[in-house]
């Protein structure tokens, strides 16, 4: 069994925020693979199904980002999840929009959701880092991550979420390189040279 966590803030007001790209990815996996409807448990919403021949539980913490670890730790205790079987999908300011990186363990990189998970569960889990770009100055970070994706972002965001859901089985089967290759083939655009960081449109 694996636990896949999509980080974000709860409620309709945050649904399209850049900070919620992890939760958006979890929604797309549930939709594409026809997992069970989202249900309330573990201080969050969870869904389950089979993927890559194994049971997969998805979790969207409802604790708000800074307390994500409470929800994740509760689910891990109940499901008896080991660190190597926990995968966290989250936004990453240090990656250009549409770029994806995978790592196991390491620091939180300033991400409050990861920092909370580290405090409650340790840090030896998998992270799928989904690039949202950086606004260019640290004072703009909070309104940037809590702002909605721009309409123009759909050109890379929609293909990315679809490819991620379609190819997640490769990652779960232990083939992270193939997973990343398939994401690249889907054509998410690197907008690092053209993205307008002045605000949403």
Burial code (b: 16+ CB inside 10 Å, e: under 16) for 178-189 equals ebbebbeebebb
Contact 90, 127 (CB under 8 A): yes
How many Å apart are CA 11 and CA 64, to the nearest integer? 9
CA distance 167 to 98: 15
182 three-class SS: helix
Say how far apart CA 83 and CA 139 lie, in whole Å.
34
19 is catalytic: yes
Query: Among 19, 90, 111, 170, which one carries the catalytic annotation?
Result: 19
Question: Length of the chain, please?
Answer: 201
- Cβ(167)–Cβ(188) below 8 Å: no
Helices 68-79 and 112-121 pack at an angle, to 10 degrees, of 40
Q: For the beta carbon of residue 192, count every other beta carbon within 10 angstroms.
A: 14
Alpha carbon of residue 43 to chain centroid: 18
Catalytic residues: 19
């Amino acid at each position: 069994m694996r636990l896949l966590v999509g980080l974000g803030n709860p409620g309709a007001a945050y649904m399209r925020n850049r900070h919620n790209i992890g939760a958006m990815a979890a929604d797309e996996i549930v939709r594409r693979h026809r997992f069970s409807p989202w249900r309330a448990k573990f201080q969050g919403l969870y869904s389950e199904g089979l993927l890559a021949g194994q049971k997969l539980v998805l979790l969207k913490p409802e604790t708000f980002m800074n307390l994500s670890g409470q929800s994740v730790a509760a689910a891990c205790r109940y499901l008896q999840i080991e660190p190597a079987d926990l995968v966290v999908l989250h936004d990453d300011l240090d990656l250009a929009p549409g770029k994806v990186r995978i790592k196991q363990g390491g620091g939180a990189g300033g991400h409050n959701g990861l920092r909370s998970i580290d405090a409650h569960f340790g840090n030896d889990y998998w992270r799928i880092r989904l690039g949202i770009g950086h606004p260019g100055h640290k004072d703009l970070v909070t309104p940037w991550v809590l702002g909605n994706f721009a309409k123009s972002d759909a050109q890379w965001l929609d293909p990315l979420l679809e490819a991620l859901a379609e190819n997640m089985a490769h990652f779960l089967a232990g083939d992270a390189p193939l997973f990343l290759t398939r994401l690249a083939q889907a054509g998410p655009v690197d907008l690092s040279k053209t993205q307008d960081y002045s605000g949403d449109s």
